[in-house]
């Protein structure tokens, strides 16, 4: 199988806090990792595409200075939500893919609640 680990699973913090979420591919090397956000009863929304060793590509409307992505190795990508506010509360999910047209495998997601 292809296992993707995401940590933490849940975060509750005060407004203005920065939150870091980790995404690891445990049993394969992921050339590309993706970060999604999902609001209740809505579909997945792609935020950014991250390739190891290069800058992330952000989707239109996603603030790159607010959502910092680092993909330092073939097994680890991190998303940092800087100065989070209540409107950033959502379900954040990462996925990883070996190469090209291989399937994306998803982490368990991080439920972020900003008070």
User: By the criterion CB under 8 A, which residues form the site for another protein?
Assistant: 6, 32, 34, 43-44, 46, 49, 57, 93, 97, 100-101, 103-109
The least CB distance from residue 101 to another protein, in Å, is 4
Pick from 90, 84, 9, 85: nearest CA to 42: 90
Consecutive H or E run containing 45: strand 45-51
Nearer residue to another protein within complex by CB, 107 or 112: 107
Long-range contacts of 42-47 (CB under 8 A, 24+ apart): 44/93, 47/79
Nearer residue to another protein within complex by CB, 44 or 62: 44
The least CB distance from residue 32 to another protein, in Å, is 7
Nearer residue to another protein within complex by CB, 2 or 17: 2
Q: Using CA atoms, how far apart are residues 53 and 32, in angstroms rounded to an integer?
A: 10
């Amino acid at each position: 199988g292809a296992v993707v680990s995401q940590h933490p699973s849940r975060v509750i913090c005060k407004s203005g806090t920065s939150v870091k979420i980790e995404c690891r591919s445990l049993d394969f090397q992921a050339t590309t990792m993706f970060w999604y956000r999902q609001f209740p009863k809505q579909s997945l929304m792609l935020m950014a595409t991250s390739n190891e060793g290069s800058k992330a590509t952000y989707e239109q409307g996603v603030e790159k200075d607010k959502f910092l992505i680092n993909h330092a190795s073939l097994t680890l990508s991190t998303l940092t939500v800087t100065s989070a506010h209540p409107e950033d509360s959502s379900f954040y999910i990462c996925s990883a893919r070996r190469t090209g047209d291989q399937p994306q495998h998803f982490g368990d997601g991080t439920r972020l609640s900003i008070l």
